[in-house]
Amino acid sequence: MKKFLTALACFALLAGSAFAADLQQSGKGMKVWFDAGGGVGEAYSTIVINGAKQAAADLGVDLTIVYSDWNAEKMLENFKNGLAAKPTGYVVMGHPGDAAYGPLVDEAFSRGIIVTAVDTELPALQAKYQSKGFGYIGPDGWKQGEEMAKEILRRKAFKPGDKAFVWGLKRLESRGRRARAMLKVFEDAKLKVDYLEISDEINKDVSLGAPVLAGYLSANPDCKLIVIDHGGLTGQLENFLRGAGLKPGAVYATGFSLNPATAASIESGYLNLVSEAQPYLMGYLGVLQIVQTAKYKFGGLSVDTSGGYVSAENIAVIAPLAKSGIR
């Protein structure tokens, strides 16, 4: 059944068929709130919302978008405001965690409001409400982090003791699984790992990260590997490295989430590898989940949107899609 629902969703996404035309009518009169996660105009959130807007247009949904600046407390506040508006459903990102969202999601379902998650898992709430439409569209955080670290080690020959810098969000219950998985792989490989937590200020405004990375590299000129567990910061990595006086290839630079800036950085040689989560699909399928549950009582989808890796090997094909806000 899960494979069938996934195929159904992807078929609708590609549209242009009589079936897609029928789906266009299925969301008429429905209202969906969608938390974009980041801030207005932020690259990753823009791609998520591009997908959500396309789904709303295809399905006839009245879509309300809210922004949280990657702040967990603001996500919860937005959710409370959404409940007051009595929408058909609400698409959340799971950064606050199961415990924080739990009472609010309980209230939503008790009032007939469907909730589903994208980008970051809420496994306990999905288990509790999956039969009522709570799904998850996005990568498995631990799996994505573990596989990214192994791919880095496969592509680049590091020696035990080589220094790696990992910049992530371990403090967040579910979101932090990706960073924790990478750290385990690197430590098992005997790399010397310097880990730095992304501050709330930098999480909101990535430009503030420039002096942090420059300071680290100045103090650690022997750093061989940089891993940025943050889409916005990955998009700024070329600027940061240029500002620190480094040339392409001086350090093996990697990160997450494709957008126009990361595509350009791969083309220039400053960024070596990006793990893709395909946020456009999160946006599209998140809205579709709400509509299909409201209309046909389908349970929650579980769709891993991990899309492999983008590097110099395949950027020529993918860059135009990144620049158009789809990849």
Taking a C-beta distance cutoff of 8 angstroms, is the pair 62, 32 a contact? yes
3-class SS of residue 117: strand
Helix, strand, coil shares of the chain as percentages rounded to 5? Answer: 50, 15, 30
CATH superfamily of 141-275: Response regulator (3.40.50.2300)
Asked whether residue 122 carries a pLDDT value surpassing 90, the answer given is yes
User: What is the CATH code of the structural domain delimited by 2-139+278-305?
Assistant: 3.40.50.2300
Domain spans, the chain: 2-139+278-305, 141-275
Asked whether residue 14 carries a pLDDT value surpassing 70, the answer given is no
Q: What is the pLDDT of residues 54-93, one digit of tens each?
A: 999 999 999 999 999 999 999 999 999 999 999 999 999 9
Rounded to whole angstroms, the Cα distance separating 132 from 294 reads 9
Return the closest-CA partner of residue 9 out of 279, 289, 283, 277. 289
Asked whether residue 227 carries a pLDDT value surpassing 80, the answer given is yes
Rounded to whole angstroms, the Cα distance separating 312 from 82 reads 42
- H/E element, 48: helix 43-59
Q: Quick one: average pLDDT of 237-246? A: 97
Q: Is the dihedral of CA 130, 133, 139, 141 positive or negative?
A: negative
pLDDT band at 16 (very low <50, low <70, confident <90, very high): very low
Q: Which residue type occupies 70? A: W
Asked whether residue 110 carries a pLDDT value surpassing 70, the answer given is yes
User: What does the longest C-alpha to C-alpha distance in the chain come to?
Assistant: 61
Q: Work out the mean pLDDT of the chain and round it to a whole number.
A: 93
- H/E element, 285: helix 279-296
Taking a C-beta distance cutoff of 8 angstroms, is the pair 101, 79 a contact? yes
3-class SS of residue 270: coil
Rounded to whole angstroms, the Cα distance separating 164 from 15 reads 44
Alpha carbon 273 to its chain's center: 16
Taking a C-beta distance cutoff of 8 angstroms, is the pair 175, 145 a contact? no
How much is the pLDDT for 173?
86
Tokens of 307: 């899309």
pLDDT band at 25 (very low <50, low <70, confident <90, very high): confident
Taking a C-beta distance cutoff of 8 angstroms, is the pair 70, 96 a contact? no
How much is the pLDDT for 22?
53
Tokens of 313: 């090997």
What Å distances lie between residue 112 and 108, 290, 293, 318, 322, CA to CA? 6, 12, 11, 41, 37
Percent of the chain scoring above 90 in pLDDT? 89
Q: What is the pLDDT of residues 283-301, one digit of tens each?
A: 999 999 999 999 999 999 9
Instruction: Find the radius of gyration of the CA atoms of the chain.
Output: 20
Q: Which residue type occupies 106? A: D
How much is the pLDDT for 56?
97
Q: What is the pLDDT of residues 177-222, one digit of tens each?
A: 999 999 999 999 999 999 999 999 999 899 999 999 999 999 999 9
Alpha helices in 69-220 (DSSP H): 72-85, 98-110, 123-129, 141-155, 177-188, 200-204, 210-219
CA atoms within 13 A on the CB side of 32: 33
By CB atoms closer than 10 A (0-12, 13-18, 19+), residue 33 is buried
Asked whether residue 17 carries a pLDDT value surpassing 60, the answer given is no
**Do the first three CATH levels of 2-139+278-305 and 141-275 match, i.e. the same topology?**
yes
Number of other CB atoms surrounding residue 269 within 10 Å: 13
